[in-house]
A = this chain, B = another copy of it.
């Protein structure tokens, strides 16, 4: 009896604490059901990756992607569709090849990192020095790599939340300059990835000022293993590589934006986003066609249901995320005057899902909103997460300016098998996963557009 009373009082407390009106919750349930029967998100990725394919920032394909997204948004029935210019760097990969010349002559599979300079036209040939980690390279004495190629063989660990990425990706962004500072003529990096297929993973790198720019390439995992086996047999392994890349003047690309205008709070914005650009060797299906499908598909559910949100729902497809969150920074600057009207922001940029948790970064007083949201999404397998989210790569530029964010955690267990490789293609997207992810985004977006709480001020780490 005691327990029954307790249970009853908990239910009442939960009902009282629910920050969403019954009408909002009823509509959310209807939207969830509708989204779980819709193939809209998958269809969007299919269309983008088929009709545009790779869309490297600054290229003609990038421009076609912008036109494609605009046309799609207009056809979908957004209340407003517009684009905002973004100046984007423009770098392109040309011919890339590598061969071990001795002691075991054979070709290796490599690719250039984004921003990498090329070799002279005739290529370079140099002996290889292996390091287990970037820290080991950093510890090499000055001058010890003169005339050599530095090979970092750090293997990434697989995880659902991608925590294996951080410890290895620094070698990608900074390794070339650190190697060059010791005299190296190039960087060979084991791909930042979790697969064992013959694909090298690309990604952006940076040169430090005042240090010679040397070519930076990655090896596929099987090729990194092959080099290591060769070095176990013979400490003198020589590699010849020919890297041709081209850097152009910056180009104008665009963030593409669609809005469902709010009813009673039209000036307040629920921002959901993904990035439209991709690397050049795959078709950008998981990265980030899936994100485009998830967030655009979510908006489509709300439009198709003819439901009017209180706040304005804004879908932003950002330009040039891959080469430094360029579109997101342009958005932040262009919208500086209305950032205080951004109720919350969230980005899908970690594959197709499914979504297993909802993280947030909101005021402590609003945490109950997210508990209630997670409860609403329980039947889709979603749990309440933590309050430490940065909202996704692009959206991470907003919390420092006080904007609340959510992190709808996509299952990324396999994400780094395909990330930044030629193998990032449509067949890697499980239709059921992206359907669930888009359904979660649909419910999230709808609840946020109609919630009663104020989510500010947000907690931020002391800098």
CA A54 – CA B196 in complex, angstroms?
18
A198 touches B423 (CB 8 A): yes
**A430 CB → nearest B CB, Å:** 12
CA A197 – CA B425 in complex, angstroms?
9
Encode contact with B along A113-124: 1 for CB under 8 Å, 0 otherwise. Answer: 000000000000
A230 touches B50 (CB 8 A): yes
A106 touches B54 (CB 8 A): yes
B106 touches A233 (CB 8 A): no
Q: Which residues of B contact A226 (CB under 8 A)?
A: 50, 53, 283, 425-426
B222 touches A105 (CB 8 A): no
**A237 CB → nearest B CB, Å:** 11
Encode contact with B along A409-429: 1 for CB under 8 Å, 0 otherwise. Answer: 000000000000111011110
Q: Which interface residue of A50, A105, A428 has the most chain B CB atoms within 10 A?
A: A50
CA A196 – CA B107 in complex, angstroms?
24
Contact of A51 among B104, B199, B422 (CB under 8 A): B104
**A105 CB → nearest B CB, Å:** 7
B54 touches A107 (CB 8 A): yes
Q: Which residues of B contact A60 (CB under 8 A)?
A: 105
B225 touches A426 (CB 8 A): yes
**A386 CB → nearest B CB, Å:** 35
**A326 CB → nearest B CB, Å:** 23
**A77 CB → nearest B CB, Å:** 22
**Residue in chain B with minimal CB distance to A225:** B427
A-B contact pairs, 26 of them (CB 8 A): A46-B229, A50-B104, A50-B226, A50-B230, A51-B103, A51-B104, A51-B233, A52-B104, A53-B105, A53-B107, A53-B226, A54-B106, A61-B106, A197-B197, A197-B199, A197-B423, A198-B421, A198-B422, A198-B423, A222-B425, A222-B427, A225-B426, A225-B427, A226-B283, A226-B426, A229-B426
For the complex of A and B, the 5 pairs showing the least CB-CB separation, nearest first, are: A53-B106, A222-B425, A198-B422, A198-B423, A50-B229
